[in-house]
Every structure is written in structure tokens, then in C-alpha cells.
Structure 1
Amino acid sequence: MNKVVGAEEWLAARKELQVREEELAAAHAAVRDARRQLPMVRVNKDYTFDDGEKTLLDLFAGRRQLIVYHFMFDPSWDQGCKWCSYLVDNIGHMSHLHVRDTTLAIVSRAPIGKILPFRARMGWTLPWYSSFGTDFNRDFRATLDESGERGGASVFVREGDTVFHSYSAYDEALALVHTADNYLDLTPLGAEFDDFRWLRHHDKY
């Protein structure tokens, strides 16, 4: 239990914390501005997905921007990563991205024949593609030879049919999209950032 105080002492402590929160918000705003101003790289390789049926341009679904979440699902695994599953559980309704001309899609190295049953088990409807047999995950550093798979997100933007890579982030850098953790971080018990032994696929609690 935290220290118990009167209302006036609590309000004074809250105002002190508010100053630090405002400083943090200003720092976040500066980082967001810097992220939007990053230079871009033209994507020249012809990546394909779902056994060659889709191209990277197809994943945009006609929109200007594409966010790809690199979901950890090695071809040898029988199910997707529980940490990545936790992240996908936190994704909201796609209409709020679509109206901003942005598509969010999931990509994994597992064959599509493994992905679709797992997606159905989890109750998700997000577009999820297989990069099995391609260099996509390795080229965007979501698969590392020395340490295997890691979760990450890569952002692409297109001008007509020309695609550019603008941003990628991995592991802890994606904490801001874990909505449940951000809610829990408002509570006295917190989000247990240092201990995720409790984490399961949501149908295994």
C-alpha cells in the first residue's frame, strides 16, 4: 500500500507530479516531430507475400501509408508469440486509421496455413500476411541470424506505385502501443514492466 494522506497533501503531491508529466509530454512531442522528419529510403526489392499472391503495394489496400507489425511467428512454431499477441489484443478499431489514409497489417514468417488458424483462434480480423521464404523480415531487421525473431513495426509511405520506408522500431521502443500497459501505468500497482511471467495468450488465462 502507498502512503495514506489527507486530501490537501495528496493535491500538493499531485501538482508536483503534474510538472514532471508536462515535461515528459513536451519531450514526447519533440520526439514525435523528429520521427516525422526522418529521411526515407526507396524500397526497390519486389517483396511478395502469401506464396507470391500479394506484393508490398497490395498491403497498402489503396491507402497512402502502411504500418506493418512484424509478428514473431517462426515457421517451425505451432502458434504465434504471446508477447506479440498481447500487442495485437491492444489494437483498436481500424476505421480510425483508415480515415487517416493508413493501413495496419501484420506480417509473419510462418506459412499462411499456420497463420490463419491461429488468427481465428485469437478472434482477430486484422489483415495478416505470410512472408515465408522471402527476405522481408530480415531486410527490415525483424529476424536476426544470431538471435532469431523479434517483434517490431515498420512504416511505409507511397507516392503512386513507388514505396518508401520511413521508420522501424523494435522491442521496448513499441511500449507506447501497448494500451493496456499504459492504462495500468496510471495505477498504484503499475504494469509490471520488469516481470511478464503472468503473460499468456488471452484464451489461456
Structure 2
Amino acid sequence: MTAQALPPVVDAETWQRQLDELRVREKAATRQLDAIAAERRRMPMVEMPDYTLEGEEGPVSLADVFGDKTQLIVYNHMWFPGEEWQCPGCTGYTSQFTRLDFLDAYDARFVIVTQGPIEEALAYKRRVGNKMSWYSTANSSFGTDVGAPPGGGFAVNVFLRDGDTVYRTWHTTGRGTEQLSHTFALIDLLPYGRQEEWQDSPKGWPQSPTYSRWTRSDAIAALYGPAAQNS
């Protein structure tokens, strides 16, 4: 037995009818997302200055961050100077991107840029077992110019390269970044959902303070970092 609230139990016909009704809304949402993506493809773009970032091999121009690709997605990772464990949201969010080779077929690359000094950023990357390519904008105004200044929040930016000229095509932050993640998509399928107190749930559903169920950065390191890999 459980003291936890449960969904009502119905017969299979009633369940199927309600699922069919929900499916109408789900399909409408899918078509709306398709329409939004179509509008995104029609967005104008703005030319970017010739920034120099710091990479694992030293200074690199923004155009060179693309490698041999013409499209680039950048996740601006929050950074707190002197902290052993950086933002758990950013750490957990980016830890899920372990296989990005599929982007090659789309002439695209996905990287992390942070305000942290490159040596510290790469050390943190190793500590938490992150698989993405990291760059630092500590000595550049790039982060500030794309909505992720020192001490500021996270962001996602998308760029297009034409020769050596780079253009900014899209930007989002906050919950706008969720569409890149599979974590919330899976959790939202569950009967109890995210179980956060802001969520619209039936009476009696388990609810916790926002972020309280998110995996801590040190726990992510324990799961994916060097110690876990050597165990």
C-alpha cells in the first residue's frame, strides 16, 4: 500500500478515450512547434565582430570554433569564480550531451563557452566527466554580447558562418533551453511529472521546492567523472 496520491482507476475504454482526447492537443502542439521552427528558419541575422576565445589548444577565433562546419550552437555555461562546483543546472544539462557526431550530417557543431579561465574550465570539464568541447570568453566580450555576461545566467546562441564572417541567428535562455534537453521531456511523461511546487498537478500529488530534485554537481562528478570511469 502507498500513502501517495494515485490517478483514478478506470476501464480500458475510458482510458483510451481520454488518451485520444489528449492526443489531439499533443498533435496540435507538435504542429505549433513545427510552425515555430519554420519561423525560426526565416529569422534575420546580425553580423558578429571577430572575437578571440580561448580553447584547449590556445587562442581561437569565433569563426574557427566552427571547425569545418557552417552552423554552430553555443551553450553559455554559468561560472562562479573560485567555486569548486559550478552551477548544477548547467552541469547537469550539459552532461547529457555525450554523442554529438550526428550533427556532422547537418553541417553543425555544439560547444560550451564559459566566462571561466580556460585552465579552470577544462579542469572542471574533466572533474564532472563532461564530453563537450569547451571554450573560454574570459578575455573577450563575447559572453556579454550574447546575453551571458560575467556573473550572469546561462544562454543558448546559434550562429551561421559564411567564409570568415559569423552571424548570430537565434538566442534563448531560461526555460527556452529545455527544447534541447531530453531530461525534462522524459520527466514530463511521468504521472507525477517534475514534482516541483510551481507545477499544475492534481491535489495530493508529490511536490517539492523548485530545483530540489536536480542532481548536484558533485553527484554528477561521482557518476561521470574520472573516479567513476576508473571504478
Q: With structure 2 as the length reference, what TM-score do the two structures score?
A: 0.82
**Alignment partners' CA distance in 1, 2:109 and 2:144:** 22
Aligned pair partner of 1:188 in 181, 186, 191: 191
**Alignment partners' CA distance in 2, 1:47 and 1:74:** 22
Aligned pair partner of 2:51 in 47, 55, 58: 47
C-alpha change, 1:47 and 1:162, in structure 2 (3 Å) is: same
**Alignment partners' CA distance in 2, 1:187 and 1:198:** 14
Aligned pair partner of 1:198 in 213, 219, 229: 213
Aligned pairs for 1:145-184 (under 5 A) are 148-184=151-187
**Alignment partners' CA distance in 1, 2:14 and 2:98:** 38
**Alignment partners' CA distance in 2, 1:96 and 1:33:** 21
Residue pair 1:41, 1:164 contacting (<8 A) in 2 also: yes
Q: Gapped runs of 5+ residues in structure 1?
A: none
Greater displacement, 47-56 / 164-173? 47-56
Secondary structure at the aligned position of 1:99 is classed as helix
Aligned pairs for 1:1-205 (under 5 A) are 1-43=6-48, 45-50=49-54, 53-143=59-149, 148-192=151-195, 194=198, 195-199=210-214, 200-201=216-217, 202-203=220-221
Residue pair 1:78, 1:114 contacting (<8 A) in 2 also: no
**Alignment partners' CA distance in 2, 1:123 and 1:203:** 6
| CA deviation string 1:148-203 (max 9, x = no partner) | 31111111111111111101111111111221110111110112354211221223
Secondary structure at the aligned position of 1:189 is classed as coil
Q: Percent identity?
A: 30
**Alignment partners' CA distance in 1, 2:121 and 2:145:** 21
Greater displacement, 184-193 / 17-26? 184-193
**Alignment partners' CA distance in 1, 2:100 and 2:222:** 26
Which amino acid in 1 is paired with 2:212? R
**Alignment partners' CA distance in 1, 2:83 and 2:61:** 25
State the shift of 1:92 in Å. 4.5
Q: Gapped runs of 5+ residues in structure 2?
A: 1-5, 199-209, 224-231
Which amino acid in 1 is paired with 2:52? T
Which amino acid in 2 is paired with 1:56? L
State the shift of 1:76 in Å. 4.1
Which amino acid in 2 is paired with 1:12? R
Secondary structure at the aligned position of 1:30 is classed as helix
The alignment covers a number of residue pairs equal to 201
Larger Rg: 2
State the shift of 1:78 in Å. 3.2
Report the RMSD for the aligned CA atoms in angstroms. 1.7
Secondary structure at the aligned position of 2:63 is classed as helix
